[in-house]
Structure 1
């Protein structure tokens, strides 16, 4: 009987997840594995939502955002009862290895299963690009370009009305999206969770920009800093500007994946299967120093992908 490999997506969706699913399934089939899809993440494991997958199951999905396997954040999996049931279901369906596509929370679940004797692999996928163990996560480039496209439209109105625009993007704990999209669009001010907020300096910079003759400004705000409307209210009170706020929200997660994300997802999916074949399981597929590798979980958690302060400082210089 061929080995059975299951694959699931968990946590927040990210463009490129479908490409990862496709790569895992087709690479697994190519090497003679029986491939199983699990619907709705760890909740699906607990509920026994297992389904056989063949090459046709993943045909025509690579150009779509989201995930054909659906995704969820499972509170039940965090309980001892739910976790035990998940293990029982994996054994009941004779799953030899489980490939998990998702972010830090998804990886924590895979690590917990690995400690209980279940062979797992993790493919990093989150638009925030804030996972341990890797410099790049699937979905990040598409999200940044979605923000860039939105800002280019917002800028037209902002310039026409000589306004200050606050664009609030995702990033509760990490400012990768705000920093890279701010650098790409030439934002005058970038506010990140990793840097202390000095609203006085923000107001001063807006006023200096106006005195230099630039009659509009873009403020790129990561949601983890503060709410955009709260920042706007303070700027309104301290200056003559009346900022307008755009919260981009979930549009950052959707849309057709860009080439970068589909390529990385395909490569990472293939690497996960290769690692299983070699018996090198309980690992994260990772990009470090530009190279695709697999990293044992205990090593991955030591490697944190933080924002590049040099990029942050460069963005400030270029905006002066």
Structure 2
């Protein structure tokens, strides 16, 4: 392997820069040339590519977002767009590509591998929705962002004696809601994987109020309800509690990555280069039991993601 590329695709996540840094510096250490592909597969199609060196990735390990920028590319999914990408890869003499992103990005990497380009995927997404790995790059930072927001909301909620619904990201996977809700001491956690009862939520709120509790925090994963305001209205009608909704939105994607995410991204980036040197392709890197692993992309994407039911039940027990 003489020359590889690295790109970030799909939604950004804290720790992507740490992963880029690890890939670039590991490759250079092993005398492999590296190019940065900007704006994901869209940049690959358009030849938005630049040579990377040690200085290219200096002072980025602590920064959120991605220095290579990111985009979603509908054109890459077309035969014409894909062939344009292959032509650019040939022109630049790229032999392998490290793809940092989620499941959609991995499918693109798998397609490139089938066309003869060595590919390795790193799981960069705050949702933690890839079942083959315990954690994805950016998830821990997003959870900590939500926990900090819960603490801030609790302060004002207590002052006014309110109930607060905090809507977090995770349209199909409730891990952010679950982990942040447990760590933040939420009374109720609503995730897409588990049914919920508005009456049960109201019962918990009333029980807390009866024992003198001045606030109530309800964590809601986006997409569970068509309109989160409807939940707030239902709570007001059933309990009379002054209820407010806070949607955290893209604040969860930004910010300096935690030490956990920086270390995870660095370890995964190093493994990606090792796999390239071993001429392995169509692989994704993950972590299981604190050990860095790798497996076939198609196998990884076939594993169904499930909520941690024990953790979900524990959160219910501790919120009585």
Please give the alpha-carbon distance, in whole angstroms, between the structure 2 residues aligned to 1:217 and 1:156.
11
Please give the alpha-carbon distance, in whole angstroms, between the structure 1 residues aligned to 2:223 and 2:179.
16
Residue in 1 that maps onto 2:313? 313
Secondary structure at 2:302 match in 1: coil
Shift of residue 238 of structure 1?
2.3
| Conserved? CA contact 2:103–2:301, under 8 Å | no
1:239 pairs with 2:227: no
Residue in 2 that maps onto 1:205? 204
| Conserved? CA contact 2:101–2:123, under 8 Å | yes
- 1:181-239 Cα shifts (integer Å, max 9, x gaps): 00001100000010113222222222222223223100011102123322112212222
Please give the alpha-carbon distance, in whole angstroms, between the structure 1 residues aligned to 2:306 and 2:22.
28
Q: Which moved more, 1:285-294 or 1:268-277?
A: 285-294
Please give the alpha-carbon distance, in whole angstroms, between the structure 1 residues aligned to 2:213 and 2:238.
19
Please give the alpha-carbon distance, in whole angstroms, between the structure 2 residues aligned to 1:236 and 1:88.
59
Residue in 2 that maps onto 1:281? 281
Please give the alpha-carbon distance, in whole angstroms, between the structure 1 residues aligned to 2:319 and 2:198.
17
Shift of residue 31 of structure 1?
0.5
Residue in 2 that maps onto 1:43? 42
Shift of residue 118 of structure 1?
1.6
Shift of residue 307 of structure 1?
1.8
- 1:3-55 Cα shifts (integer Å, max 9, x gaps): 11000000110000000000000000110111000000000000011110000
Shift of residue 300 of structure 1?
1.2
Please give the alpha-carbon distance, in whole angstroms, between the structure 2 residues aligned to 1:312 and 1:71.
33
Kindly report which structure 2 residues correspond to 1:81-96, keeping only aligned pairs within 5 A, or say none. 81-96=80-95
Residue in 1 that maps onto 2:182? 183
Kindly report which structure 2 residues correspond to 1:16-35, keeping only aligned pairs within 5 A, or say none. 16-35=15-34
| Conserved? CA contact 2:161–2:242, under 8 Å | no
1:267 pairs with 2:267: yes
Secondary structure at 1:219 match in 2: strand
| TM-score of the two chains, using structure 1 as the length reference | 0.97
Shift of residue 77 of structure 1?
1.0
Shift of residue 112 of structure 1?
1.4
Please give the alpha-carbon distance, in whole angstroms, between the structure 2 residues aligned to 1:142 and 1:304.
24
Please give the alpha-carbon distance, in whole angstroms, between the structure 2 residues aligned to 1:108 and 1:307.
23
- 1:95-141 Cα shifts (integer Å, max 9, x gaps): 10000001111111111111222210001010011114211100011
Please give the alpha-carbon distance, in whole angstroms, between the structure 1 residues aligned to 2:168 and 2:131.
21
Residue in 2 that maps onto 1:120? 119
| Conserved? CA contact 1:134–1:305, under 8 Å | no
Q: Which runs of 5+ in 1 are unaligned?
A: none
- 1:252-301 Cα shifts (integer Å, max 9, x gaps): 11011110000000000000000111122210011123310111113212
Q: Which runs of 5+ in 2 are unaligned?
A: none
Please give the alpha-carbon distance, in whole angstroms, between the structure 2 residues aligned to 1:229 and 1:204.
19
Q: Which moved more, 1:21-30 or 1:208-217?
A: 208-217
- 1:67-98 Cα shifts (integer Å, max 9, x gaps): 00000111111122111111111112111000
Q: Which moved more, 1:108-117 or 1:53-62?
A: 108-117
Paired positions, count: 319
Please give the alpha-carbon distance, in whole angstroms, between the structure 2 residues aligned to 1:218 and 1:164.
6
Secondary structure at 2:167 match in 1: strand
Kindly report which structure 2 residues correspond to 1:134-173, keeping only aligned pairs within 5 A, or say none. 134-173=133-172
